[in-house]
Amino acid sequence: MQDELNGKRKVEVDLLCDRCGMEPESTIHVLKGCPWASGIWLLCPLALHTQQMQAPNFSDWVKEMGKCLDEEQLELMLVVAWALWSDRNLLLFQDIQNYPVDVVNKAISFFEEYKKEKLKIVQTPIGGPHPMVFIRLILMLQFLTSKGLAACFIPPFLPSPVPRAL
Query: Model-level pTM?
Result: 0.68
Q: What residues contact residue 5 under an 8 Å CB cut-off, 6+ apart?
A: 11, 13, 159, 163
Residue 61 has pLDDT above 70, yes or no: yes
Is residue 131 helix, strand or coil?
Answer: coil
Dihedral angle at the C-alpha atoms of 129, 132, 133, 135, nearest 10 degrees? -70
Tell me, yes or no, whether 162 lies in a domain: no
Helical spans, DSSP H, in 2-99: 2-9, 27-28, 35-43, 58-68, 71-94
pLDDT per residue as tens digits for the range 111-162: 998 888 777 765 555 555 455 555 666 677 677 767 666 555 555 544 444 4
Cα gap 36→23, rounded to integer Å: 12
Tell me which of 11-25, 41-55, 89-103 is least confident.
11-25
Domain span at residue 10 reads 2-152
Mean pLDDT of 58-70: 91
Cα gap 18→78, rounded to integer Å: 22
Tell me, yes or no, whether 111 lies in a domain: yes
Domain count, the chain: 1
Helix (H) or strand (E) holding 106: helix 100-121
Tell me, yes or no, whether 166 lies in a domain: no
pLDDT at 68: 92
What DSSP state is assigned to residue 31? I
Q: How high does pLDDT run on average in the chain?
A: 79
How many CA atoms lie within 13 Å of 102's alpha carbon, on the beta-carbon side? 7
Tell me, yes or no, whether 104 lies in a domain: yes
pLDDT at 116: 85
Tell me, yes or no, whether 165 lies in a domain: no
pLDDT at 118: 79
pLDDT at 162: 46
Tell me, yes or no, whether 106 lies in a domain: yes
Tell me, yes or no, whether 132 lies in a domain: yes
pLDDT per residue as tens digits for the range 74-98: 999 999 999 999 999 999 999 999 9
Cα gap 1→160, rounded to integer Å: 8
Residue 10 has pLDDT above 50, yes or no: yes
